[in-house]
Amino acid sequence: MKILVPFKRVADPGSYVDQGAVEERKWIINPFDEIAVEEAIRIKERGEAQELVGATIGSEGAEEQVRTAMAMGLDRAIRVDDSRYLDAYAVSRILEGVVRLEKPDLVLMGKQAVDSDANQTGQMLAGRLSWPQATFVSKIEFVSGFTIARCTRETDSGLEVITVDLPAVVTTDLRLNEPRYVSLPSLMKARRRPFEVLTVEQIGVDVQSRSTVLKSSPTPRRAAGVRLETVEQLVACLRNNDKVL
C-alpha cells in the first residue's frame, strides 16, 4: 500500500503572544497532519504499507517541516513550490494533481489546519477524485486484504463506524494517536535525504484561490468579570442580575 500524507506548515499556536512583541514566529507541522504522518508510519511499521510519501505546498521555509516529517519516518517527500495564499479550493486541486502523479492507495491527512480551521480540503480532494472519504477518524484498520479501510469517526452524536473502499481519503482527528517526537539523530540523517521540489506546472495544475481575505481583526475579547467569594453570592448574581437561573 502506498500512502500519501499531505501536511501544512502553520505558525505554532503556542507562539501567538497577543501582548508585547513576538520575536521569531515558530513554525510547525499542523498538529492534525502530524497525527496523519504518525499514523502512516505506524501502518508501515505494522507491515501494512510499503511506501509513505509526504507532500506540502509552500516556499523554501516549508522545507524545515519536510525534514521533520521525513525524520519522523516518511520514505519520500514532495514540496510543491508555491508561496501564494491558497484556500482549500486551490489546495485540493493541487493535491489532486499530486495524487494523479503519485497514485497512492490512501490519502491520510489532518481534518483541519489550526490556523484556517476550515476542515474542507480532504473532503474537497475526495470529491474531485471521486474517492470515498472518511473524516474525523479516531481509529483506522484495514480489512479484506487491504482493499477496505474500516474507520471510526468522531461525530457530534458520538462514535460512528464506516468502511471505505480504497483508494480513499481519510482525515484524522485528535485521538487517533499521539505523534512521536523527532530525535536529533533522525533529524540529522533526514538532512542528508533528498526530496522533490515541483512546481504547479509540473503537476499539471493551474489554479487560483477562489477566496480573498479582505481584512482581519482580533475578535473582541470578553472583559474579565468579577471575583466572588461564595457560592451564595454567585447564585444571587445569576438570579437577580443576569436572570439566567
Q: Pick from 8, 99, 136, 198: which binds other proteins (CB under 8 A)?
A: 136
Site string for other proteins, 174-203 (x = CB under 8 A): xx-----xxxxx-xx--x------------
Q: How far is the CB of 19 from other proteins (least distance, A)?
A: 7
Q: Are 17 and 32 in contact (CB under 8 A)?
A: no
99-128 positions binding other proteins, by CB under 8 A: 111-112, 114-128
Give whichever of 103 and 244 is closer to other proteins, judged by the CB atom: 244
Note whether 172 binds other proteins by CB under 8 A.
no
Note whether 244 binds other proteins by CB under 8 A.
yes
Q: Pick from 2, 139, 150, 193: which binds other proteins (CB under 8 A)?
A: 150
C-alpha grid cell for residue 221?
Answer: 475579547
Q: Are 213 and 93 in contact (CB under 8 A)?
A: no
Closest C-alpha to 72, from 203, 225, 151, 178: 178
Q: How far is the CB of 79 from other proteins (least distance, A)?
A: 15
HSE, side-chain direction, 13 A CA sphere, residue 172: 29
Cβ count near 181 (within 10 Å): 9
Note whether 232 binds other proteins by CB under 8 A.
yes
Q: Pick from 145, 192, 214, 240: which binds other proteins (CB under 8 A)?
A: 214
DSSP SS3 for 210: coil
How far apart, in whole angstroms, are the C-alpha atoms of residue 244 and residue 236? 11
C-alpha grid cell for residue 40?
Answer: 502512516
Q: Are 39 and 70 in contact (CB under 8 A)?
A: no
Give the count of residues interacting with other proteins (CB under 8 A).
93
Note whether 68 binds other proteins by CB under 8 A.
yes
Task: Check residue 159 and report its DSSP letter.
Answer: E
Site string for other proteins, 70-99 (x = CB under 8 A): -----------------xxx--x-------
